[in-house]
Amino acid sequence: AQKVTQAQTEISVVEKEDVTLDCVYETRDTTYYLFWYKQPPSGELVFLIRRNSFDEQNEISGRYSWNFQKSTSSFNFTITASQVVDSAVYFCALSVMDTGRRALTFGSGTRLQVQP
């Protein structure tokens, strides 16, 4: 079975601060994919990034960066110089190459509040 843990329920920062959202996953599969999604108050889940289990290279996209470490089963997400528009709930998710069930397993989410 797969499991994703986002231990931080809610984080509040002041604009321009850097913030890191933690994600720890569990799976027995050797091939899997990790995702981050953003859910603004409107409810839509917005895809941010996908990584596969064979690629531990960190990735940067503008103010966003991701740190994937298989040794600790973590896939953390950092927002640099946070902005009010970053306020949302962020979900980490996992999918595996399971022929019987191709689905995303989500964590419980981290609510990020960026204060002006």
Specify whether the CB–CB gap between 94 and 105 falls below 8 A. Answer: yes
Does 96 help bind another protein (rule: CB under 8 A)? Answer: yes
- Name residues contacting another protein, limited to 52-71 (CB under 8 A): 52
- Closer of 35 and 86 to another protein (Cβ): 35
Does 91 help bind another protein (rule: CB under 8 A)? Answer: yes
Of the candidates 14, 95, 113, 8, the one whose C-alpha atom is nearest the C-alpha of residue 47 is 95
- Name residues contacting another protein, limited to 11-50 (CB under 8 A): 32-33, 35, 37, 42-47, 50
Distances (CA, A) of 21 to 1, 51, 94, 96, 98: 23, 16, 16, 22, 27
Distances (CA, A) of 40 to 31, 63, 86: 30, 17, 8
Does 105 help bind another protein (rule: CB under 8 A)? Answer: yes
Does 95 help bind another protein (rule: CB under 8 A)? Answer: yes
**What minimum distance in Å lies between the beta carbon of 57 and another protein?**
16
Q: Are strands 88-96 and 32-39 parallel, antiparallel or unpaired?
A: antiparallel
Positions touching another protein (CB under 8 A) are 4, 32-33, 35, 37, 42-47, 50, 52, 91, 93, 95-98, 100-109
